[in-house]
Amino acid sequence: MTLAARHQAGPPTVIHGDPCSVGALLASLPNAEADALRGILADDLWSHSAIYDMLEEEGHEARRQTIGRHRRGQCRCGTS
């Protein structure tokens, strides 16, 4: 496929691979905790840094950049 054809087709709609660290964390948490984290991630009043600090205090690992990519739907999960 040429670059022109790829440009015409647009970006991929599905990102393949294992979930990012935020997606993996969401999958590993009990339902109530995962729902709470999803709510926090969807809330624009929570900054990436505030979410990072909260997760670190709870003993979870995720980088600020990964949190931002996950929230924008730009990570391997492909959804925010």
| Structure confidence at residue 10 (pLDDT) | 82
Among residues 54, 72, 60, which one has the least CA distance to residue 21?
60
Q: What are the structural domain ranges in the chain?
A: 16-72
Q: Say what percent of the chain tops pLDDT 90.
A: 66
Residue stretches of the chain with pLDDT short of 70? 12-16, 79-80
Q: Are 68 and 49 in contact (CB under 8 A)?
A: no
